[in-house]
Amino acid sequence: MASHGLQEQFYLNGIHKPGDVMLGGLFEVHYTSIFPELTFTSEPSKLSWFRHAMTMAFAIDEINRNSNLLPNVTLGYSLYDNCATLVIGFSAALSLVSGREEQFLLLENCSGTSPVLGIVGDSFSTFSIATSDVIGLFNLPIVSYFATCSCLSDGHRFPSFFRTIPSDAFQVHAMIQILKHFGWTWAGLLISDDDYGHHAAQSFQTELVQSGGGCLAYTEILPWGENTAELWRIVQMMKKSTARVVIVFAHQITMIQLMEEVVRQNVTGLQWMASEAWTTAAVLQTPHLMPYLGGTLGIAIRRGEIPGLRDFLLRTHPDLYDNNNHGNSMVRMFWEHTFQCRFPPPPAGWVESGGAICTGEEVLESVETEFLDVSNLRAEYNVYKAVYALAYALDDMLQCTPGRGPFSGNSCTTLQTMEPWQFLHYLEKVNFTTSFGDQVSFDEKGDALPIYDVMNWLWIPDGRTKVQNVGVVKKTTLTGEELTLDEDKIFWNFDSKQPPRSVCSDSCPPGTRMARKNGQPVCCFDCVLCSEGKFSNKPDSVECTSCPEDFASSPQRDHCVPKKIEFLSYHEPLGICLTSTSLLGTFICAVVLGIFIHHRSTPVVRANNSELSFLILMSLKLCFLCSLLFIGRPRLWTCQLRHAAFGISFVLCVSCILVKTMVVLAVFKASKPGGGASLKWFGAVQQRGTVLLLTCIQAAICVVWIVSASPLPHKNTQYHSDKIVYECVVGSTVGFAVLLGYIGLLAILSFLLAFLARNLPDNFNEAKLITFSMLIFCAVWVAFVPAYVNSPGKYADAVEVFAILASSFGLLVALFGPKCYIILLRPERNTKKAIMGRATSKS
């Protein structure tokens, strides 16, 4: 048998109870060890820490009495004191693995006490790291109840390490959850100058950035020892900062030094947030400090209820445990410390405590000891869960049905054939709920579902203090991360009795966006109103969103509203006025046409080709009516027809006037000697043919324009950001220019010919009237071009309608006004004799 013996024999302080299956435990019951040649003396630690070990004994006793869990299997235990010393804790762990205290066997089967199935402990992260590095080689599970270092979540390095206490990483996350819940986006961070503080700061800053939960106004390292100048500087910064929330990851002694300076400078009005290291520190809960620390929110290990534990602790007695050698040495030392006595004789190598002799008849309930205080079970609750996790894993393993197992060939294992890695498999899958209602399971890193209590420091003016539970932060397999707070219970140490506001910049309301201040953290920003056409409907928007094309932003810029639709409508005053004018012009044309038809045999009507006069009246009526196509919501057919109808109607009118002018010149030329031959070119057929030809040219222009680049209805959003202007785009500017240019060419030609014939006798021609009408026509359309180009939206249509109506009325009045005057008011002049007589006298 290969073994390695220690240089000297030594004893481990422990408690043992035999069983079918053994569980090991490592606890800090004593501290300050002096162990020359590996024999030690020690001072008792807090008696509450001995309660940790006894909680494991209670849990095992409770499991043994439970017929539903591990029936027919009795659990035993070997619990050791690590004395807050790495070498002692490491030796105890190796003793549990080997089964012997005096020899650690490395190659062969162990002799002596049965090796343990798993170990509950250690309480220190450093000890757990050292132990897991070695014990992990054997795949023996270690379930810690107090080691929080996030480095232990490394599943590759520590494959057999589990824990029932959350890692430091979740503590940071829990604090950020609280910050976000109260809207505290601007906070200060104070840390102790050690690994705990530096790692916490690094995790906190990384997590804060990733979660977008806020910014740090400052991060300061609290000095060790007496450094009054540095503490004065830190407190001055806290005093001047606008951050009202201060988060502290530090130990009790560091907090005491900081608070002395806070009291000295009388810095009040701060909301403190405590890490788990000092949340329940009674040394800080004094009447001297509570005016400053009252209302503190902190993270604490989950408190649990363990029914029956106090009764079990009351039954603690040295005689109940193994009494051979020093198997019950931990209980014996507890008894000696509690009753200030000693058991004779002490084991060899142990230092006598002195004092009275312990009889074993002392009554534990008769002394006042914190060992029996079960009102605030936190670490004990983690121990309790760790023991039950091992028990449930073992129960699952023993419940395996052959042929349906998880191992090779669907096989199962037994207590006699079990390998440590096989038990490890079941521990990884364990999932149960405690009697207190908390779910326990492990993730792939060996971390249990994390859970923390949220504590609040209640300061009662009569001087009493109370640390009360006001909520819980936990993670479950079903709902994920949850923060539950009873805000009605929270004590706020402010005059308003309300949570403080701690922000660098107030939240930007909907309708604005955040504009970061140069050189400042992202939480410091200005609120800028969204530009026109954009909106933001959520607070603290980083960017404004553009509204859809048919929508505009509201005046508050917090939502989009449908844009107003604008076009030249029949229902608005301008549209009504233009429509009425158009219909009036059409009516007047109809009246004049009726007058001319009724008096068609009179000389005034018959003079200079009455047929052309009728055509002019008909074309003017079309001109008046075509203006109606420019009013109303543009549609495809109206856009295509409006310019074509307008162009053809005016060309028909102007070509008739041009032919009339040419006939007048031809008649007077024929009245001169040798000029009769010219009249044969201006007969009725030629006149009709000329008008038809000139009109067909315009019609051809319109057809080519519509076919090649048809005018189309268009929603124009460029003129106004809050309006949609419905208009007809011409499609081809060249086509529109050719159409207008052709009308202008005929008009100018008519004007020039009429101007040449202006001095001919009045009674025989209309040269002066044509000249005047063409002058009005040309003036209107020359003014139309710049007005049309510079008029947006519906006003361009209004300008074109006005030009059509103005030029049409000009032609109607100038050409037919004098004739209607003679027909209706001066009928005596409507005779051939009157006309011929006047012509003769003039000639």
Q: What is the mean pLDDT of residues 805-816?
A: 88
Burial class (CB in 10 A: 0-12, 13-18, 19+), 769: buried
pLDDT at 105: 36
- What is the pLDDT, as a whole number, of residue 674? 52
Return the structure tokens found at 27: 């606890």
* Helical ranges in 490-572 per DSSP H: none
In this structure, the dihedral spanned by the alpha carbons of residues 547, 552, 556 and 557, taken in order and rounded to 10 degrees, is: 20
| Rounded CA separation 447/164 (Å) | 7
The per-residue pLDDT for range 333-359, each reduced to its tens digit, is: 888 888 888 887 655 544 454 568 888
The tens digit of pLDDT for each residue in 548-607 reads 888 888 989 999 999 888 888 888 898 899 999 999 999 999 999 999 888 888 887 777
Where among 531, 562, 593 does a domain terminate? 562
What's the full length of the chain, in residues? 843
Between CA 18 and CA 21 the distance in angstroms is: 8
User: What does the pLDDT read at residue 35?
Assistant: 39
- The answer as to whether 5 is a domain residue is no
Strands 451-459 and 41-44: unpaired
Retrieve residue 66's tokens. 């439970």
Cα(278)–Cα(571) distance, rounded to whole angstroms? 78
What confidence category does residue 331 fall into, taking pLDDT thresholds of 50, 70 and 90? confident
pLDDT of residue 481: 78
Same domain, residue pair 629 and 527: no
**Matching residue, tokens 């020892």:** 225
CATH code, 236 = 3.40.50.2300
Q: Contact at 8 Å (CB) between 177 and 473?
A: yes
| Residues 119 and 255 both lie in one domain | no
At 835, the pLDDT band (50, 70, 90 cuts) reads: low
Percentage of the chain with pLDDT > 70? 87
| CA 70/CA 362 separation, integer angstroms | 35
Tell me, yes or no, whether 702 lies in a domain: no
| 172 shares its domain with 150 | no
Residue 501 domain flag: no
In this predicted structure, which of 38-47, 104-113, 121-130, 182-191 has the lowest mean pLDDT?
A: 104-113
Same domain, residue pair 172 and 159: no
DSSP 569-623: -TTSHHHHHHHHHHHHHHHHHHHHHHHHHHTTTSHHHHTT-HHHHHHHHHHHHHH
Distance of CA 690 to the CA centre of its chain: 75
pLDDT at 678: 55
Instruction: Using the predicted structure, report yes or no on whether residue 39 has a pLDDT greater than 50.
Output: no
Helices (H) and strands (E) in the chain — how many of each? 21, 31
* 252 vs 668, more confident: 252
- Sequence-ordered alpha helix ranges (H) in 627-732: 636-670, 684-708
Tell me the CA distances in angstroms from 397 to 70, 408, 428, 598, 720, one per residue in order.
10, 15, 12, 120, 77
Lowest mean pLDDT among 41-50, 739-748, 828-837: 41-50
758 with 797, same domain: the answer is yes
Residue 583 lies in a domain: yes
3-state secondary structure 76-135: EEEEEECCCCHHHHHHHHHHHHHCCCCEEECCCCCCCCCCCCCEECCCCHHHHHHHHHHH
pLDDT at residue 344 in the model: 78
Are 95 and 243 within one domain? no
Query: What's the CA gap between 494 and 376, in Å, rounded?
Result: 28
Residue 818 sits in a domain of what CATH number? 1.20.1070
Reading the block at residue 650, the tokens are 């005016």
Q: Does the pLDDT at position 109 exceed 70?
A: no
Residues 584 and 732 in one domain: yes
Q: Find the mean pLDDT for residues 484-491.
A: 93
Indicate the pLDDT class of residue 137, thresholds 50, 70 and 90: confident
In this predicted structure, the answer to whether residue 210 has a pLDDT above a threshold of 60 is yes
pLDDT in tens, 177-203: 999 999 999 999 999 887 778 888 888
Examine the pLDDT at 45 and tell me if it is beyond 70. no
Q: How far is CA 577 from the centre of its chain?
A: 54
Task: Give Cβ neighbours of residue 782 (< 8 Å, ≥ 6 apart).
Answer: none
Same-domain status, 366 and 465: no
Q: Is residue 610 part of a domain?
A: yes
d(CA 800, CA 781): 9
Residue 454 has pLDDT above 70, yes or no: yes
Once rounded to an integer, what is the mean pLDDT over residues 410-424?
Answer: 88
Is the bond into 395 cis (omega within 30 degrees of 0)? no
Domain-embedded: residue 843: no
User: What average pLDDT is seen over the chain?
Assistant: 83
Distance between CA 29 and CA 13 in Å, rounded? Answer: 9
Instruction: State residue 349's pLDDT score.
Output: 45
User: Which segment of 559-573, 670-684, 692-706, 793-807 scores lowest on mean pLDDT?
Assistant: 670-684
The stretch 216-241 carries a mean pLDDT of 91
Task: Please give the pLDDT value at position 296.
Answer: 95
What's the confidence (pLDDT) of residue 669? 67
Q: Domain count of the chain?
A: 4
Co-location of 144 and 259 in the same domain: no
Task: Please tell me the predicted confidence (pLDDT) of residue 320.
Answer: 74
H helices of 298-375, where? 309-314, 329-339
- CA 210 – CA 788 distance, rounded (Å): 59
Cβ atoms of 687 and 656 within 8 Å: the answer is no
Q: Is 623 within a domain?
A: yes
Q: Which of 481, 436, 499 is nearest to 179 (CA)?
A: 499
Residue in 190, 191, 153, 145 with CA at minimum distance from that of residue 52 = 145
- 0.75 surpassed by pTM: no
Token code pair at residue 87:
């070498």
- Mean of pLDDT values over 478-488: 85
CB 797 within 8 A of CB 630: yes
Instruction: Say yes or no to pLDDT of 837 above 70.
Output: no
Give the 3-state secondary structure of residue 105.
strand
pLDDT tens for 267-291 read 999 999 999 889 988 889 888 899 9
Residues 193 and 262 both lie in one domain = yes
Contacts of 795 (CB under 8 A, 6+ apart): none
Strand intervals (E) in 368-423: none
413 contacts 436 by C-beta, under 8 angstroms: no
Average pLDDT over residues 88-100: 83
Give 681's pLDDT tier (boundaries 50, 70, 90): low
Does pLDDT of 679 surpass 60? Answer: no
494 within domain boundaries: no
Q: Do residues 464 and 523 both lie within one domain?
A: no
Q: How does pLDDT run across 739-765, given as a tens digit for each residue?
A: 989 988 998 888 888 777 766 655 445
Q: Is the pLDDT of residue 617 over 60?
A: yes
* Residue scoring higher pLDDT (700 or 368): 700
Same domain for 289 and 317, yes or no, is no
pLDDT exceeds 50 at position 41: no
Q: Tell me the average pLDDT across 597-622.
A: 83
Catalogue the E-assigned strands of 35-72: 41-44
Cβ–Cβ < 8 Å for 175, 273: yes
Q: Which domain holds residue 747?
A: 573-661+707-833
